[in-house]
Amino acid sequence: MVRRVGSPRDPVYRLLSALLLLITASCGGGGSDGGGTSYAFVAPVVSSKRAYAETILDNAHNTINLSYTETVTAVNPDGSYTVLQEDPNHESVIVNNTNYSIVTGTVAVNNSGQETGYTYADSNDATVSCTFTPHGAGPDFPITIGMTWTLNYSFGCGIQPPVSYVQSGSVVDVESITVPAGTYRAIKLQSTLTWTDAQGTTRTETVTNWRDAATSVSVKQSITISYSGTLPTRGYAISEEIVLESMS
């Protein structure tokens, strides 16, 4: 999940799409699944690393390009794990008074690939802890084609009051998809995620996420964001695309 200063999901950091899937990826063929196959979540490998590129379009039609890496730092016996997410170049792109930088943080993920919390250092180098209750977005594994899910959760970060989120989604199909890192036989997930922040801005993200069927790694996400209520006074994202660039 990408954290970005001044971006939409919360006042300080944006949690991108909810499905953090850091597992050694493998290539495969395409083709549809008739719905009978059950896909279990596969725990990642310690020290495995993948690089992503993110392209954002804002409300003034500016294009912002970001990149970041995700490195698995620990895997627990139950399959839950922690990840270090960072931009190795520590780049910052400011457009319409919004800072689209990637924030370095440690992410805790359960054995269904759902975030349970993360920590980061604020501008004073103090550690800030954030918590999802009961957990962040995404379906419970195992999953099958045609499965649907609905999730209500809250997210609280530091001294900020928790924000309530509602997600509904479906497991659509298995299809072949090509990204810079390779071609994968990927499970296609579609979902909507809605929340209202303290300023009265309601956001609805429509997300299509492709995950490698063999390993569950997220290889591509396409996101559109709609707004209602009080519109942000600074620049804000209206679409995003995240693709897997490489892995090791």
Higher pLDDT, 13 or 101: 101
In percent, how much of the chain has pLDDT > 70? 86
- The yes-or-no verdict on residue 29 having pLDDT over 70 is no
Buried b (16+ CB within 10 A) or exposed e, 98-116: bebbbbebbbbbbbbbbbb
Would you state the pLDDT for residue 96? 94
Identify the bridge partners of residue 79 per DSSP, sorted by sequence position. Answer: none
Domain boundaries, the chain: 38-247
- The yes-or-no verdict on residue 48 having pLDDT over 80 is yes
- The yes-or-no verdict on residue 169 having pLDDT over 60 is yes
Over residues 180-201, the mean pLDDT reads 96
Which among 170, 197, 167 is positioned nearest to 14, based on CA atoms?
A: 197
Average pLDDT, the chain: 87
**pLDDT grade, residue 130 (50/70/90)?**
very high
pTM of the model: 0.85
Is 38-247 a CATH 3.30.70.270 domain?
no
